[in-house]
Structure 1
């Protein structure tokens, strides 16, 4: 049962970053720039972030099997639409529909796993789930690079479709209904406020890539988004049956765990969009080669995630988390030093390896330690908050990475108007890594305040 849910989540999360390696091809096919193309990733993540809070309600309205069927139906419809897309608009809509399927599945997976496994096995199981949550978006560019070069970018969706159909045939019979159906009241106002809030903030961050901070296209959505999120939070505390019980933030280690998890997902998704663009357009390597460059780091992360889960059970997270952030910060600084239009591929491989060793030591330890502090009745709410902010972190990371990159390119062009395009892109990527390093250092400082939660 856990395998079926994790495999479905793996395919959906693979879709988060799978198109990153194909963005240059899509930009050429549909005559769009990188700021527009990044919406294929940002829109996917934003849809997840908006839908996951609603999914915490759906878990209490529908059975486990009903939700899995709905999730797979949306995922299949989205894959079909995107695979056949004749225009960028249709491709974007297909991505959003696909994201709805993943948005239903993620909270379902976490809630079911918390219910069916005893506490003393939870660290190891969450470590395996860490393999899904971190490896799927990390391995996306590596696998899709091979697909893009051999078959074409649309086949990314056909491959996903085959796996979804396989899950319907072989996976559904493994699922039992374990969630408790209470059918709480659905508050439409809360849904609207959370949608406008997250949507406004991410739209504003994405628009910064092409507009100035003083533009109404940037500051108006930002203000509306923050006000909506504030009203959403106030409303949740006043409701008897909130859409998401924000009282989970009264538990300090859960709150700190969420902050560290947010930074970790920001680091993963910002790097996952920057490096493929840099390698394809500055180092001028093929999609397959660029994918293979990222593969060792992704593979090492996959191997380490379960091990880190067991080490967390034995030694606690207080030691593991700071080391993880120290490694990601070191890797980001290394990228700043090495990135240029002539960087040897082996240097990118080594920096990426160090980066993902650090990531393996961040995501699941931070999440498990935080969730362990919550009482059983808040598991669903904790899962909803965790999954929501993970996707919002990814959308924020993707949007800001492209914004910083374009800003860095513009600054370099002002200083060197005659510079070649490969040098411009390399300098823009290097500029973005200054901010990524800053986030990693912030995470390291915050991780020093973690205390182990003993259940």
Structure 2
């Protein structure tokens, strides 16, 4: 039995507005605790390796829920799924705000992520359903504000709030917004997605959770502990990654054999979808280069505060937020090919600039170059993703959005792990020039060697990010020049 969506009766603007708000607060919470972790450590008397689980557990749960979202979207109505996911997120936020133990706070983060992991794929599927092909660029551009701006603003917002409130205030600020969103959603969110009522396949859910979860946990562990003298930890992480990859392979084999799979891997039969996904993954890995390396460079090497590091990235986040709807409209008119090519050219040049960081690089210059880099990224992210999703027939949209969001999570984890590993290895293997140390005291010489080694690490990591950007730029020329019309898309389908 299949339920057909009634698109004509949908009030698009208020419905999408409340769904954008829901997805925004969900993604915001990925990075909201970034600058609050030291305060939480002090309150609960825990160490860094424990408190980091507040972020890791959130990302892991998110990564596990996203692949399952395709099944849920086809099983439950739009209203049921969105209101339930928002309510679960609100419950997690409330528990977090009143948590009196670290263990309860960790449970609260998992509950939050269980709700937020559904909201973004659902929002994107609804957009593809209620907007015709020729208007999807502008609609997905609005989604781009959420995807890019929310995680970027998290550290800055939390740094500012912590100037006035305790870490609990971060959750108390979010909670009323979510409650209002639930009330508004109950009035404006309509049932638009098509229901096919697939059967629950417990084995697929287990394989998906263990496979994607294993990959995300393994890579996040390597990324979070590179540089520490812990060979056993690295070997364990590699074992988990290998195990996750094997389980994921079994999951894929099962999905191909099932008549109604939980996650449809045949979406990769569409070349432009596959190409757009590869480009998006490459761009995200390069993006992680700046969002991970620059705060470390500013705080650990240059001595800036967490708030100063967050403020440095704020103009870039604002630029990307402003540009996302604009690039969406440009996509509707010109397609993804040249937007992506121009954007990746900007990303490549600005990433190359970061390969020459020094102890004297000015704060203003970092702000300007990072903002220009985010301008380039805004020309790439949503246009390329929309171009790929436009290739898919409507019944595969839930699977396409779930696949895109899942692989974004995986590529972000892989990018972080690889870039931090390269950074720490380059710093460790740095060989100082003895001539440059002549005339310095022992203390001055040690400090200069440490600073130069750190610079070598950051610059080498950005060289790799530059190379990734060049690969993405080359691939962008294989995208379609113009967006598909409705008739062309139906012919492809």
Aligned match of 2:236: 217
Aligned CA distance change for structure 1 residues 393 and 163 (closer, same or farther; 3 Å): farther
Instruction: Map 1:20-169; keep pairs closer than 5 Å.
Output: 20-23=34-37, 25-26=39-40, 30-33=45-48, 39-86=53-100, 89-169=103-183
- Give me the CA root mean square deviation: 2.8
Q: Deviation string for 1:319-359 (max 9, x for gaps)? A: 1112222222222221221243x432112101211220111
Aligned match of 2:446: 418
Give the distance between the partners of 2:100 and 2:289, measured in 1 at CA.
Answer: 28
Distance apart, 1:184 and its partner CA: 0.5
> How many positions carry a matched residue from both structures?
453
- 8 A Cα contact 1:79 1:161, kept in partner: yes
Give the distance between the partners of 1:22 and 1:231, measured in 2 at CA.
Answer: 39
Aligned match of 2:477: 448
Whether 1:321 aligns to 2:333 is: no
Give the distance between the partners of 1:97 and 1:85, measured in 2 at CA.
Answer: 13
Distance apart, 1:276 and its partner CA: 2.9
Answer with 1 or 2: which has the greater Rg: 2
Whether 1:393 aligns to 2:408 is: no
TM-score normalised per structure 2: 0.84
Whether 1:371 aligns to 2:389 is: yes
- 8 A Cα contact 1:148 1:287, kept in partner: no
- 8 A Cα contact 1:338 1:347, kept in partner: no
Q: Which moved more, 1:175-184 or 1:279-288?
A: 279-288
Give the distance between the partners of 1:319 and 1:431, measured in 2 at CA.
Answer: 29
Distance apart, 1:179 and its partner CA: 2.1
Distance apart, 1:80 and its partner CA: 2.9
Distance apart, 1:86 and its partner CA: 4.9
Aligned CA distance change for structure 1 residues 101 and 214 (closer, same or farther; 3 Å): closer
Aligned match of 2:468: 439
Aligned CA distance change for structure 1 residues 354 and 169 (closer, same or farther; 3 Å): same
Aligned CA distance change for structure 1 residues 173 and 395 (closer, same or farther; 3 Å): farther
Q: Which moved more, 1:239-248 or 1:67-76?
A: 67-76
Give the distance between the partners of 2:284 and 2:476, measured in 1 at CA.
Answer: 15
Distance apart, 1:250 and its partner CA: 0.1
Whether 1:228 aligns to 2:257 is: no
Runs of 5+ consecutive residues of structure 1 not aligned to the other structure: none
Give the distance between the partners of 1:433 and 1:189, measured in 2 at CA.
Answer: 41
Distance apart, 1:75 and its partner CA: 1.3
Give the distance between the partners of 1:85 and 1:273, measured in 2 at CA.
Answer: 29
Distance apart, 1:406 and its partner CA: 4.1
Q: Deviation string for 1:75-130 (max 9, x for gaps)? A: 12222333344555544433222111111111211111111112221111111111
Aligned CA distance change for structure 1 residues 227 and 418 (closer, same or farther; 3 Å): same
Aligned match of 1:274: 293
Give the distance between the partners of 1:409 and 1:419, measured in 2 at CA.
Answer: 14
From 6, 10, 13, the equivalent of 2:27 is: 13
Give the distance between the partners of 2:456 and 2:105, measured in 1 at CA.
Answer: 30
Distance apart, 1:446 and its partner CA: 1.8
Aligned CA distance change for structure 1 residues 226 and 148 (closer, same or farther; 3 Å): same
Distance apart, 1:423 and its partner CA: 6.6
Give the distance between the partners of 2:362 and 2:102, measured in 1 at CA.
Answer: 34
- 8 A Cα contact 1:301 1:359, kept in partner: yes
Give the distance between the partners of 1:339 and 1:410, measured in 2 at CA.
Answer: 17
- 8 A Cα contact 1:325 1:358, kept in partner: yes
- 8 A Cα contact 1:20 1:272, kept in partner: no
Give the distance between the partners of 2:115 and 2:347, measured in 1 at CA.
Answer: 31
Give the distance between the partners of 2:38 and 2:451, measured in 1 at CA.
Answer: 14
Distance apart, 1:215 and its partner CA: 5.2
Aligned CA distance change for structure 1 residues 62 and 214 (closer, same or farther; 3 Å): closer
Q: Which moved more, 1:233-242 or 1:70-79?
A: 70-79
Give the distance between the partners of 2:316 and 2:464, measured in 1 at CA.
Answer: 21
Aligned CA distance change for structure 1 residues 118 and 165 (closer, same or farther; 3 Å): same
Runs of 5+ consecutive residues of structure 2 not aligned to the other structure: 1-14, 435-444, 486-493
Q: Deviation string for 1:22-48 (max 9, x for gaps)? A: 445556665534x66555444323322
Give the distance between the partners of 1:82 and 1:412, measured in 2 at CA.
Answer: 43
Aligned match of 2:276: 257
Q: Which moved more, 1:125-134 or 1:264-273?
A: 264-273
Distance apart, 1:54 and its partner CA: 1.0
Q: Which moved more, 1:362-371 or 1:203-212?
A: 203-212
Aligned match of 2:353: 334
- Secondary structure of 2:370's match? helix
Whether 1:247 aligns to 2:266 is: yes
Aligned CA distance change for structure 1 residues 398 and 272 (closer, same or farther; 3 Å): same
Aligned CA distance change for structure 1 residues 43 and 15 (closer, same or farther; 3 Å): same
Give the distance between the partners of 1:140 and 1:246, measured in 2 at CA.
Answer: 33
Aligned CA distance change for structure 1 residues 18 and 434 (closer, same or farther; 3 Å): farther
